[in-house]
Structure 1
Amino acid sequence: MDNIIREGHPTLRQMAKEVTLPPSAEDRKTLEELLQYVKNSQDPEMAEKYGLRPGIGLAAPQINVSKRMIAVHLREDDVLYSFALFNPKIISHSVKKSYLTAGEGCLSVDRAVPGYVPRYAKIKVKGTNLDGEETIVELKGLPAICFQHEIDHLNGVMFYDHIDMENPFAEPENAIPIER
Structure 2
Amino acid sequence: MLTMEDIIRDGHPTLRKVASEVAMPPSEEDKQTLSSLIEYVINSQNNEIASQYGLRPGIGLAAPQINISKRMIAVHLTDDKGILYSYALFNPKIISHSVEKAYLQSGEGCLSVDEAIPGLVPRHARVTVKGINLAGEEVKLRLKGLPAICFQHEIDHLNGVMFYDHIDKHDPLLPIEGATVIER
Class of the TM-score when normalised by the shorter of the 2 chains = over 0.9
Percent identity between the two aligned chains: 69
Q: CA deviation at 1:165?
A: 1.3
Q: CA deviation at 1:78?
A: 1.5
TM-score by length of 1: 0.99
Q: Cα RMSD between the aligned structures?
A: 0.5
Q: CA deviation at 1:172?
A: 1.5
Q: CA deviation at 1:174?
A: 2.2
Instruction: Specify the alignment match of 2:59 in structure 1.
Output: 56
**Bigger mean CA deviation after superposition, 165-174 or 36-45:** 165-174
What is the DSSP-based 3-state SS (H/G/I as helix, E as strand, rest coil) of the residue aligned with 1:145?
A: helix
Q: CA deviation at 1:27?
A: 0.1
Where do 4+ consecutive residues of structure 1 move more than 4 Å? Answer: none
Alpha-carbon distance between aligned partners in 1 of 2:177 and 2:65, rounded to the nearest angstrom: 30
What is the DSSP-based 3-state SS (H/G/I as helix, E as strand, rest coil) of the residue aligned with 1:37?
A: helix
Q: Which runs of 5+ in 1 are unaligned?
A: none
User: Equivalent of 2:152, from 123, 135, 148?
Assistant: 148
How do residues 20-169 of structure 1 correspond to structure 2 at under 5 angstroms?
Answer: 20-76=23-79, 77-169=81-173
Alpha-carbon distance between aligned partners in 2 of 1:176 and 1:38, rounded to the nearest angstrom: 26
Q: CA deviation at 1:80?
A: 0.4
What is the DSSP-based 3-state SS (H/G/I as helix, E as strand, rest coil) of the residue aligned with 1:167?
A: coil
TM-score by length of 2: 0.97
